[in-house]
Amino acid sequence: MRARRGLSHTHVGSLHAPDAELALRHARDLYTRRQEGVSIWVVPSGAITASSPDERDAFFDPAADKVYRHPTFYEVPDGVAHL
């Protein structure tokens, strides 16, 4: 669901439907009762491949030591602006 123009779609929930056309309409009826969205995607849950907690270390730990990817890693000499 895209909440407002300019924002990314984020997951809001699940529902049951026999096909995509109905799923989209049910999503509209169920998840936008209070003007929560301006755009909806629906994806069948069977089409989602998720990472497993067992793979968590292998997947996500290798990024932990690459601190140089973050701007806070670098020292900026005093008095330097616009950097």
Count of residues engaged in binding other proteins, rule: CB under 8 A: 22
Which C-beta is closer to other proteins: that of 49 or that of 82? Answer: 49
Count Cβ atoms within 10 A of the Cβ of residue 27 and give its class: 0-12 exposed, 13-18 middle, 19 or more buried: buried
CB 57 within 8 A of CB 35: no
Q: Does 30 bind other proteins (CB under 8 A)?
A: yes
Q: How many CB atoms lie within 10 A of CB 66?
A: 9
Q: Does 57 bind other proteins (CB under 8 A)?
A: yes
Q: Does 71 bind other proteins (CB under 8 A)?
A: no
Residue where the block lists tokens 């950097």: 83
Binding site for other proteins (CB under 8 A): 13-19, 21-22, 25-26, 29-30, 33-34, 50, 52-53, 56-57, 61, 64
